[in-house]
A and B are shown apart, each in its own frame.
Chain A
Amino acid sequence: MSVAEQVDSTDLSAGDAARPGMTAAPMPGLWADLKGDVPGLIGASFLALLLLTAICAPLIAPYDPGAQNIIMRLKPPAWVDGGSWAHVLGTDHLGRDVLSRILHGSRISLIVGAVTVMLAGTFGVLMGLTAGYVGGRTDNWISAIVDTQVAFPGLLLALLILAVIGPSTVTVILVLALNGWMVYARVTRGAVLSLRHTAFVEAAGLLGCSTWRVLMRHLLPNLSAPLLTLGTLEFARIVLAEAALSFLGLGVQPPATSWGLDVAQGKDYMFRAWWLVTFPGLAIAITVLAVNLIASWLRVTSDPVEREKRFARRAG
Chain B
Amino acid sequence: MLIGLRYISLAVAVTMVPAVAIAQDISIVLGAEPTTLDPHAADDGSEKAVNDNVFETLMARDAQGNLVLGLATEQPTQVDATTWEFKIPAGLEFHNGEPLDAAAIVHSVERMIDPELNSEQLSYFSTFAGAEAVDATTVHILTSGPDPILPARMYYFMIVPPEASEAEGFASSPVGSGPYEFVRWDRGNEIVLQADPDWRGGDLDVQKVTYRFIEESGTRMAALMAGEVDLITNLLPEFTGQVPASASMRGLEHPTVILNTNGGITQDVRVRQALNLAVDKEALASALFEGQAQVEEGQLLGRTYFGFNEGVSAYPYDPEQAMALLEEAGVAGGGITLVGTGGRWLKDREVTEVVAGYWAAVGLNVDVQIFEFDEYLQRLFDKENRADAIFVVSGNELLDADRSFSAYYAPSGFGSSNNFDQLEEWIVAARTEIDPEARQALYEQAVQLGHDEAILTFLLNINNIWGLSERLTWEPRVDGKMFVATMSVE
Q: Do A and B come from one complex?
A: yes
* Residues of A bordering B, CB below 8 Å: 68, 70-71, 73-74, 93-94, 166-167, 249, 253-255, 267-272
Binds A, one of B196-204, B368-376, B393-401, B415-423: B368-376
Q: Is the CB of B287 within 8 A of A272?
A: no
Looking at A68, A70, A272, the one whose CB has the most chain B CB atoms below 10 A away is A70
Q: Can you give 28 A-B contacts (C-beta < 8 A)? A: A68-B353, A70-B288, A71-B283, A73-B287, A74-B238, A93-B238, A93-B350, A94-B350, A166-B374, A166-B375, A167-B372, A249-B343, A253-B342, A254-B342, A254-B349, A254-B370, A255-B368, A267-B216, A268-B216, A268-B217, A268-B221, A268-B236, A269-B236, A270-B222, A271-B225, A271-B239, A271-B242, A272-B239
Q: Among the listed A94, A249, A268, A269, which residue makes an inter-chain contact with B353, where contact means beta carbons less than 8 Å apart?
A: A94
A93 contacts across to B, CB distance below 8 A: 238, 350
A267-B218, A268-B216 given; A70·B342 CB < 8 A: no
- Flag if A166 contacts B372 (CB, 8 Å): yes
Choose among B222, B354, B357, B370 the residue that contacts A271 (Cβ–Cβ < 8 A).
Answer: B222
Inter-chain contact B354/A68, CB cutoff 8 Å: yes
In chain B, what residue has the closest Cβ to A249? Answer: B343
Q: Which residues of B contact A255 (CB under 8 A)?
A: 368, 370
**Could you tell me the distance between the alpha carbons of A271 and B244 in the complex, rounded to whole angstroms?**
13
- CB contacts (< 8 Å) of A269 on chain B: these are 218, 236, 238
Across the interface, which residues of A come within 8 angstroms of B370, CB to CB? 253-255
A94–B238 Cα distance when bound, in Å, is 12
**Within the complex, what minimum Cβ distance (angstroms) separates B443 from chain A?**
34
Enumerate chain B residues within 8 angstroms of A254, measured Cβ to Cβ: 342, 349, 370
B238 touches A272 (CB 8 A): yes
Q: Which of B325-377 contact A (CB under 8 A)?
A: 342-343, 349-350, 353-354, 357, 368, 370, 372, 374-375
Interface class of chain B by DSSP = helix
> For B353, what are the chain A residues with a Cβ–Cβ distance below 8 Å?
68, 94
Bound form: Cα–Cα A6–B242 in Å:
48
In this complex, the member of A71, A94, A249 whose beta carbon has the largest number of chain B beta carbons within 10 angstroms is A94
- Number of A-B residue pairs having CB atoms within 8 Å of each other in the complex: 51
**Could you give, for residues 36-54 of chain B, a 1 whenever the CB lies within 8 Å of some chain A CB and a 0 otherwise?**
0000000000000000000
Instruction: Note all chain A residues with C-beta closer than 8 A to B372.
Output: 166-167, 253
Residue of A93, A166, A249, A271 contacting most chain B CB atoms (<10 Å): A271
Residues from chain B with a CB closer than 8 A to the CB of A267 are 216, 218
A74-B241 Cα distance, complex, nearest whole Å: 14
* CA gap between A166 and B372 in the complex, in Å: 7
Known pairs A73-B287, A270-B222; list 19 more (Cβ under 8 Å): A68-B353, A68-B354, A70-B354, A93-B350, A94-B353, A166-B372, A166-B375, A249-B343, A254-B370, A255-B368, A268-B216, A268-B217, A268-B221, A269-B218, A269-B236, A269-B238, A270-B221, A271-B221, A272-B239
Give chain A residues whose Cβ lies under 8 Å from the Cβ of B216. 267-268
- Complex alpha-carbon distance, A167 and B370, angstroms: 13
In Å, the complex CA distance between A73 and B350 comes to: 12
Give Cα A70–Cα B283 distance, bound, in whole angstroms. Answer: 9
Nearest CB of chain A from residue B93's CB, rounded to whole Å: 45
In the bound complex, residues from chain B placing their C-beta under 8 Å from that of A249 are 343
- Per-residue CB contact flags for chain B residues 273-304 toward chain A (1 = under 8 Å, else 0) read 00000000001100110000000000000000
* A68 to B236 Cα, complex, angstroms: 19
The smallest beta-carbon distance between A98 and chain B, in angstroms, is 16
- CB contacts under 8 Å to A, within B227-249, are 236, 238-239, 242
C-alpha spacing A167/B222, complex, angstroms: 29
Give the complex CA separation of A269 and B225 in angstroms: 13
A41 to B372, CA, bound (A): 43
CB pair A70–B287 under 8 Å, yes or no, is yes
Closest to B350 in A: A94
List the B side residues contacting A268 at CB < 8 Å: 216-218, 221, 236
Minimum CB–CB distance for A38 against chain B, Å: 39
Q: Once the chains bind, are A270 and B288 in contact (CB under 8 Å)?
A: no
| B236 surroundings in chain A (CB, below 8 A) | 268-269
B residues in contact with A94, CB < 8 Å = 350, 353
Q: Which of B218, B350, B357, B368 has the most CB of A within 10 A?
A: B218
* Nearest CB in chain A: distance from B361 CB, A: 12
Contacts of A70 in B (CB 8 A): 283-284, 287-288, 354
Q: Smallest CB-CB separation from B225: which chain A residue? A: A271
Does A68 lie within 8 Å of B357, measured CB to CB?
yes
CB distance from A13 to the nearest CB of B (A): 39
The reply to whether B242 and A272 form a contact with Cβ atoms under 8 Å apart is: yes
B203 to chain A, nearest CB (A): 36
Cα–Cα, bound, A271→B224 (Å): 11
Give chain A residues whose Cβ lies under 8 Å from the Cβ of B374: 166
**In the assembly, what is the distance between CA of A255 and CA of B357, in Å?**
14
Give the residues in chain B near A71, CB-CB below 8 Å.
283, 287
Chain A residue nearest to B372 (CB atoms) is: A166
A270 to B219, CA, bound (A): 9
- Kindly report which residue of chain A lies nearest to residue B238, judged by CB atoms: A272
Across the interface, name the chain A residue whose C-beta is closest to B288: A70
Chain A residue, CB-CB nearest to B374: A166
A268–B236 alpha-carbon span in the complex (Å): 8
Q: Which chain A residues lie closer than 8 Å to B350 at the CB level?
A: 93-94
Give complex CA distance A306, B374 in Å: 53
- The answer to whether A270 and B218 touch across the interface, beta carbons within 8 angstroms, is yes
Q: For residue A271, which residues in chain B have a CB less than 8 angstroms away from its CB?
A: 218, 221-222, 225, 239, 242
- How far does the alpha carbon of A255 sit from the alpha carbon of B370 in the complex, in Å? 8
Q: How far is the CA of A68 from the CA of B288 in the complex (A)?
A: 11
Which of A166, A167, A268, A272 is the most central at the interface, judged by chain B CB atoms within 10 Å of its CB? A268
Q: Name the residue of chain A whose CB is nearest to the CB of B217.
A: A268
Which 9 A-B residue pairs are closest in the complex by CB-CB distance? A70-B287, A267-B218, A268-B218, A268-B217, A270-B218, A166-B372, A70-B288, A272-B238, A271-B242
Chain B residues with Cβ below 8 Å from A167 are: 372
Cα distance A182–B354 in the bound complex, in angstroms: 45
Q: How far is the CA of A167 from the CA of B371 in the complex (A)?
A: 10
Contact residues in A for B342 (Cβ distance below 8 Å)? 253-254
Give bound CA distance, A49 to B375, whole Å: 39
Give CA–CA (A1, B328) in the complex, Å: 60
Question: Once the chains are docked, how many angstroms separate the CA of A93 from the CA of B263?
Answer: 35
CA distance A94 to B222 in the complex (A): 22
Closest to B349 in A: A254
Identity of the chain B residue whose Cβ is nearest the Cβ of A71 in the assembled complex: B287
| Distance in Å: Cβ of B113 to nearest Cβ of chain A | 35
Least Cβ–Cβ distance between A280 and chain B, in angstroms = 15
Q: Please, which residues of chain A bring their CB within 8 A of the CB of B242?
A: 271-272
A73 to B216 CA separation, bound complex (whole angstroms):
21
Q: B106 to chain A: closest CB distance in Å?
A: 44
Give the shortest distance, in Å, between B234 (CB) and chain A (any CB). 11
| Cα of A71 to Cα of B288 in the assembled complex, Å | 8
Mask for B50-67, Cβ within 8 A of A = 1, else 0? Answer: 000000000000000000
CB-CB nearest in chain B for A168? B372
* A272 vs B354: C-alpha distance when bound (angstroms): 22
- State the CA gap A167–B372 with chains docked (Å): 9
Please, which residue of chain B has its CB at the minimum distance from the CB of A269?
B238
Give the chain A neighbours of B368 by CB distance below 8 A: 255
A212 to B374, CA, bound (A): 47
Nearest B residue to A74, CB-CB: B238
In the bound complex, what is the Cα–Cα distance between A167 and B342 (angstroms)?
Answer: 13
CB nearest to A94 among chain B residues = B350
